[in-house]
Structure 1
Amino acid sequence: MIEDRIKFRHLQCFLAVAQHGSLQKAAGVLSITQPAVSKTLKELEEMLAVRLFERGRKGAVLTREGEAFMRHAGASVSALREAVASVDQTRRQGRAVVTVGVLPTVAPWLMPQLLRQLEQAGLNTSLRIHTGANPELLAQLRQRELDLVIGRFAEPAHMLGLTFEHLYADPLVLAVRAGHPLLSDPVLRANPLAHLPAFTLILPSQGTAIRHTVDSFLLARGLGPPARTLETLSVTVARHYTAGSDAVWFFPLGAVRPELDSGALVSLPVSMAGTEELVGLTLRADMSPTQAQGEVLSAIRLIASKQGLTSA
């Protein structure tokens, strides 16, 4: 029987190529060679007697048969991972594990609070935290590699089989160090936006949703592409560079809030109306939360309700 010949490595390789759209990228993730990936896929396609991917200059794209196979392959691998995790949980005296995907712009402020909330409630739950871009996290959620995602509202095409629950609306801020010329110089402070081109801007990475919002904000105010930029989603890098230079950090309020509250950084007196982006919980539509997952979800909702960010 065909199902007796299909091995875990076939499914693992297939899902890696489907997720990354490239045999080369899948090989890197799986720590094997590209020829090994190609050979494994060929074996699987021969066993199934169908072509699972169309390979071309744009990478590897699932065929209709490949899309049908992926739904069941993902569930099979997920079931195996859950079985292994259940054994691990039993070995660790029943401690439940919840795997959370979260944007790098949200993780620095939310994850520490979530861990403290779970500890204070006396919950015997462990977290596995993965950060990444929104599309990457949603793909991992669909393939059941993640239990839930804390991210931004995605295009409808990316939400098939998923549900989105709004938590808060996160506006952007322009953060600078205390004593920055845009604050201390009366002439510059009177119209800080007009003088932004004189300073290095720390911006979200190209291709992200918040970078699109930043570009739209600048364009709407007649500001062209900045001459000097640092593009990063690393809160740590941006925080330290902003605190020790005259750079201006363009980032979501939630990520910058701890520095603003402590006085380490200051928000420029500029209206950021219209820059709010929806942040929420994305779950699989067929998800029936376990007790541990339900406790984590409740804790996240409680923290978001107390955060004091702009509500949509």
Structure 2
Amino acid sequence: MTAGRWIGALSLDVAVPNCDPNCLRSGRVSLGLPLPPHMVFRLALLHVREARPRLIGGVSPSPVDYPVSRSPDFSRMDISPRQLAHLLAIHRSGSLLRASEGLGVAQPSLSVSVARLEDVTGHRLVERGRHGAKLTAAGLALLRHAESLEAVLQTAGEEMRNLRVGVAGPLIVGGTPLSASSIIPDILSSLYREQPAMACSVIEGSDDDLLAGLLTHRIDVVISTISGHGSSGREREDIANEPLFGAGVAALVRAGHSLAGERELSLTEHREALWVMPPEGSTFTTLVEALFTTAGLAFPERIIRAAPFGVLKEIVRRTDGITILSHQIVRSELEDGSLVALPLRQQPAKRIFGLRTLKQHPMSALARRFIEIAREKAVDYDHA
């Protein structure tokens, strides 16, 4: 909204010298004097009348037709949690009407809320068309903060409920299939012995999904790849990466297999054998495929794909199939002798797994203790 429109509305009742439009938003003029309440009401009414056509009308104006009141003051940007919740609801529903119904507010009120948020940020945040509403690039940039705020408030509410019944937490831990099936259960076993009354959730996912959960405060701490094949987000300045252990790979066969006594396994010599592998598209499968490619070999045709790793290992135990896995995933099977590890002649560089946390996010006492135990146990999981 231009300064001319604001001052034009004022000139009907009172002349305001040296008036800054940004001051009018807060009900104060540049001289530091408060505007009378009836003037603040007039300004708010004008804002509603001007804002409604932008979002409720048939055609949204172009950015040129949609001026903002001067340049936004980013050092004092006044964004309310309610406005972020409204933006999140629009994104999830894809429609202002459905979003307003879900929120229990009138659609015009929702439109005004978005219009005010656009004025504050200086960006168009929502585009509306025949098929609903979607966020612009600026809206999507703001969306992550809306999701973060939602997660923080949900966690705060759950923590208050837990305190009433003497339970610590919640603690949300994220891990890749390797860490979620090895070191994370070990850490939680020790943590539970120290703190029996705790609430904890473990989320298994890809490196990218876990990073997204960390950035939106839906995960407190992640143990995943921080260097080597499959790692992501290492360059981010807001993420702290602390190495824990290295993860190499080996070929694995069942006890009693004809290859069980071999000193090493060559991909070239055994490409025609039966192979048992994770599903296509997974980070680990991509690593294994790269091993064959580096050796100048096509990927095996005789193959059984299986997930999760528990199913895959059981198939190897019951067949003559060969698989390639990290030592950490088959630790218990190697200890009980049901599987035998064979070093690969074509050995890839080992991946480094570590702790990932948000640098500027304060950790709960439970999360800090989880991290301390992880450091203590890491030495037992380091394997070339």
Structure 1 residue 4: deviation in Å?
Answer: 8.2
Q: Distance in 1 between matches of 2:376 and 2:190?
A: 9
Corresponding residue SS for 2:177: coil
Q: Distance in 1 between matches of 2:90 and 2:214?
A: 17
The alignment covers a number of residue pairs equal to 284
Q: Distance in 1 between matches of 2:136 and 2:358?
A: 21
Structure 1 residue 147: deviation in Å?
Answer: 0.2
Corresponding residue SS for 2:355: strand
Greater Cα radius of gyration, structure 1 or 2:
2
Structure 1 residue 39: deviation in Å?
Answer: 4.5
Give the direction of change, closer, same or farther, for the CA distance of 1:201–1:220 in structure 2 (3 Å limit). same
1:181-217 deviation digits (Å, cap 9, x = unpaired): 3336x8xx88643342232322234334332321221
Q: Which residue matches 2:317?
A: 243
Q: Which residue matches 2:251?
A: 174
Q: Which residue matches 2:176?
A: 103
Q: 2:260 pairs with 183, 201, 217, which one?
A: 183
Counterparts of residues 130-279 of structure 1 (less than 5 Å) = 130-153=203-226, 154-156=231-233, 159=236, 161-183=238-260, 192-271=266-345, 273-279=347-353
Q: Which residue matches 1:84?
A: 157
Q: More displaced, 106-115 or 286-295? A: 106-115
Structure 1 residue runs without a partner (length 5+): 18-33
Q: Distance in 1 between matches of 2:251 and 2:96?
A: 46
- Contact kept? 2:278, 2:284, Cα under 8 Å: yes
1:32-85 deviation digits (Å, cap 9, x = unpaired): xx7669943996795445235899xxxx88603431x13431332123112211
Aligned CA RMSD, in angstroms, stands at 3.3
Query: What percentage of aligned pairs have identical amino acids?
Result: 20
Q: Distance in 1 between matches of 2:239 and 2:281?
A: 22
Higher helix fraction (1 or 2): 1
1:212-247 deviation digits (Å, cap 9, x = unpaired): 321221122232111022334511111111100111
Q: Distance in 2 between matches of 1:110 and 1:13?
A: 40
Give the direction of change, closer, same or farther, for the CA distance of 1:141–1:210 in structure 2 (3 Å limit). same
1:163-195 deviation digits (Å, cap 9, x = unpaired): 2111111001111101223336x8xx8864334
Q: Which residue matches 2:18?
A: none
Structure 1 residue 104: deviation in Å?
Answer: 1.5
Q: Which residue matches 2:364?
A: 290
Structure 2 residue runs without a partner (length 5+): 1-43, 45-78, 101-106, 119-123
Structure 1 residue 107: deviation in Å?
Answer: 1.4
Q: Distance in 1 between matches of 2:159 and 2:363?
A: 15
Q: Distance in 2 between matches of 1:252 and 1:125?
A: 31
- Contact kept? 1:103, 1:134, Cα under 8 Å: yes
Give the direction of change, closer, same or farther, for the CA distance of 1:179–1:13 in structure 2 (3 Å limit). farther
Corresponding residue SS for 1:193: coil
TM-score, structure 2 length as denominator? 0.64
TM-score, structure 1 length as denominator? 0.77
Q: Distance in 2 between matches of 1:149 and 1:165?
A: 10
- Contact kept? 2:247, 2:382, Cα under 8 Å: no
Q: Distance in 2 between matches of 1:4 and 1:257?
A: 47
Report the AA paired with residue 289 of structure 1. Answer: M
